[in-house]
Structure 1
Amino acid sequence: MSQTSVKFSIALILACVFMVIAPGLAAEPSTEFTTLFGKDPDVLQCLSTLQSVQGCVQEIITLFLSHQVQLLGPACCKALNEVDDKCW
């Protein structure tokens, strides 16, 4: 599997996790994150990086559904790259 495929697979998994979390709780690390990923502050920081950009999770979902990378906005793309550098 290519590195790009791995990145997109991980982003898809993260997007699915974010869809399960209530929007009002998504801005701060909550017990849902702690339950799913433990108490590792690095992991919680990685997850919050995508949530810090408004609409980024939706852009990632749209990207996977349409297979059009150009639909990913610059702010979300930057956040996704930061997640890659810090977390994997």
Structure 2
Amino acid sequence: MLLEILLYWLLLLVAAACVVAVSGRKRIASLIILAPIVLFCTLLLMQTASYKGQDANIGLGLTVFLVWAITAILFILAAVMWLLKRRNKSS
């Protein structure tokens, strides 16, 4: 379980790094916006990692799903920003 949570966290960091890399001149603004989001998700994943119970916990499952959803949104945002930047350069 701990290895899975570490992989989720690394995916989140890669997604945030993609958004920062694509943002161009607005890197500081994107860092200011993304830092609390990544910190919030990190705290959620740490709470999930510290859970010692053997039974199913719906809240922890929803927490991991929320982190996955935020990661997917960040990857999609980075792809859209990259496509728009590429489209504006070709025009």
- Return the TM-score normalized by structure 1: 0.34
Which structure shows the bigger proportion of residues in helix conformation? 2
User: Bigger radius of gyration, 1 or 2?
Assistant: 2
Q: Of the two structures, which has the highest relative contact order with CA contacts closer than 8 Å and spacing of 6 or more? A: 2
Return the TM-score normalized by structure 2: 0.33
